Structure 1
């Protein structure tokens, strides 16, 4: 009698894929490995993902989405824009560092996978820019930030701070001066963005 397989869920596939990536790494992990980890035929997994690239996108998409809720909340909150903007980046940096420390095997695999998921990465960065732009826009309105284009400036702030939160720079995050370096970069950014108290008076 042929084996009857229980229908898989997307979350089951992603969880199994994460475990396989930890074990084999992104170069060697395959859809067949994921099926074997789930105890099902590879055809059962292929009903949900067309190929290895689609499996990669599921894993990368979940990882990226998990970073977003606290950042969305900060962007949507009230309060002085300069403080919210700093809290946004402090939170973004803390999330990335925590993941790199708590799950280094998967973080390393994610870093390699994300490099190939250009469309997902572009969407992720696009949302980050919009969230930062929303804070900058409120700062312009309240008079704490200069009259700048929020989207262009949001993208510039993200680019200027990449070393401190982009996974490609994770090997640098344990540098003894990393927090001091970020403080210096942030001070420079805010000096250019903020309206001086004398001008606000």
Structure 2
């Protein structure tokens, strides 16, 4: 355990919390690892042993948000109710969580968007989680004969492609001042009807 009395995980978590507060207060361009370390009461060298640079710290911030988002979606997938309604809710939840982040945490969303553009490993994990969640929902819908029996991966790809206009980071931000939920619902319902 380091001299701070905190474990490595606790140091990383605390740094992420402080970074979140500083990003919200100052904007992510103005946050410096030195300032985060100072607020933690450790040397910037000690913080650099956990985050090689500011980008790595911002990635940790975005990764935490995506892990929480994925966990919420996992809970939905495991619910016992109509799979078609769960598919629709899955898209609505994803859209709403990203829209909320754009509107309430625009600076944190900028950091996330930069990571998404660079397809960082945690972004790839999130995309893989999305595919896995949707595949489970599609399998459930096929098993309950709500969707015609087809290749699960193909149906999953069709649905995710249809929803991308409402869930892609750039497009969520671009249309953040327009209520697009009705269009999202109509789009997914039309695709599900076609698949049924």
How does the TM-score come out when normalised to structure 2?
0.84
1:51 corresponds to 2:33: no
- Alignment check: 8 A CA contact 1:26 1:113 kept: no
- Alignment check: 8 A CA contact 1:35 1:45 kept: yes
1:101-180 equivalences in 2 (<5 Å): 101-169=103-171, 170-176=173-179, 178-180=180-182
Deviations 1:2-41 (A, max 9, x none): xx65546221011122233334544453322322333421
SS across alignment from 2:147: coil
What displacement does 1:99 show?
A: 2.3
1:75-114 equivalences in 2 (<5 Å): 75-114=77-116
What displacement does 1:161 show?
A: 1.0
For 1:193 and 1:12, the matched residues in 2 are separated by 47
Q: Residues 21 and 112 from structure 1, CA distance in 2 versus in 1: closer, same or farther, beyond 3 angstroms?
A: farther
For 2:145 and 2:4, the matched residues in 1 are separated by 61
For 2:51 and 2:40, the matched residues in 1 are separated by 14
What displacement does 1:132 show?
A: 0.7
Q: Which runs of 5+ in 2 are unaligned?
A: none
Larger RCO (CA within 8 A; separation ≥ 6): 2
Q: Which runs of 5+ in 1 are unaligned?
A: 195-201
- Alignment check: 8 A CA contact 2:24 2:107 kept: yes
For 1:26 and 1:101, the matched residues in 2 are separated by 16
Deviations 1:145-182 (A, max 9, x none): 11122233223312221221222112203225x22321
**In angstroms, what is the RMSD of aligned CA positions?**
2.2
SS across alignment from 2:71: helix
